[in-house]
Amino acid sequence: MTRRKAAGRGKISIDKPFHKLMPGLDPHDAVEVLNTAVRRKDARLWCNGKEVDPGFFRTHLLLCAPLIGKRPWTIKIEATRALRRPVEKYTWRMDAKEIEALLTQPDTRGEAMQRATAAAEAARAEAATARAELEQARTEMQAAVERTERAEARVNAAEARVEAMSSTATDNTPRRKPGPKPTDDWPKELAAELIRIAVADPTALQNADKLVEEIQTDFADTGRFLPQDPKRVREEIVRLLKHIR
């Protein structure tokens, strides 16, 4: 590649390096050169001001250049495995000096493209494997939820029979106050509820305070026991989330 005017100091958005490579390469070649440079640490990727480890990039991220209608070519980050937040919620940047170093290297396009193509194929295979593992995990989680619901139904039916028999045994037995029956099994009930929420909306697990409010309301509406102290419920939710995450 020919030498170009030196880029400004500091970090630049990931779109700028892509367009700097475009005059000498087509869009797909340019994005593969950048992917290879990040994996080899020739051009580092930064996320919210912190350097992204090349190993993490290789297994979790991919730079791609989708063509959207007649709009100009642009580049974006795609997650090949689940992150804590969607990729668009992070700020991605690259180092201007390192991009300039790529532009001033001798033209080894053929070799670079061979490496980039091989790396892209490996990344696609890794992404396919990750998606298959995710689908399997979802299937197993759904099966666990169904088993929990069946067990819960059996427990409720058994408790109802016991209560019915107890009420007819003697008229002198003091009646329990209306409302959910206190039980020591509420942490298990809470774990089952978290599993159902994780299947329906995994992002909901990121807000423990909102989970406490919604779960306490749902348990009260469905007649299930849960401690009235939200602090105690929150502590149990946080403990369970450590295992889910």
As given in the structure block, the two tokens for residue 160 are: 């109802």
Per-residue pLDDT of the chain (245 residues; tens, 9 = 90+): 333 343 335 788 888 878 877 777 778 888 888 899 899 989 899 999 999 999 999 999 998 887 766 667 888 888 989 889 998 999 999 888 888 887 766 554 555 566 667 777 887 888 889 889 888 888 998 898 898 988 888 888 888 888 887 766 555 545 545 556 666 788 888 888 888 888 888 888 888 888 888 888 988 888 888 888 988 888 988 888 887 65
Q: Are 99 and 45 in contact (CB under 8 A)?
A: no
pLDDT of residue 5: 40
pTM: 0.37
Q: Give residues with Cβ within 8 angstroms of 36, minimum separation 6.
A: 42, 112, 115, 116, 119
Nearest to 74 by CA among 127, 21, 126, 18: 18
Single-letter code of the amino acid located at 213: E
Domain range annotation of the chain = 11-129, 178-245
pLDDT value of position 199? 86
Q: Tell me, letter by letter, the H, E, C secondary structure of the chain.
A: CCCCCCCCCCEEECHHHHHHHCCCCCHHHHHHHHHHHHHCCCCCEEECCEECCHHHHHHHEEEECCCCCCCCCCCEEEECCCCCCCHHHCCEEEEHHHHHHHHCCCCCHHHHHHHHHHHHHHHHHHHHHHHHHHHHHHHHHHHHHHHHHHHHHHHHHHHHHHHHHHHHHCCCCCCCCCCCCCCCCHHHHHHHHHHHHHHHCHHHHHCHHHHHHHHHHHHHHCCCCCCCCHHHHHHHHHHHHHHHC
Q: How far apart are CA 12 and CA 92, in angstroms?
A: 9
Q: What is the rounded distance in angstroms from the CA atom of residue 110 to the CA atom of residue 92? A: 28
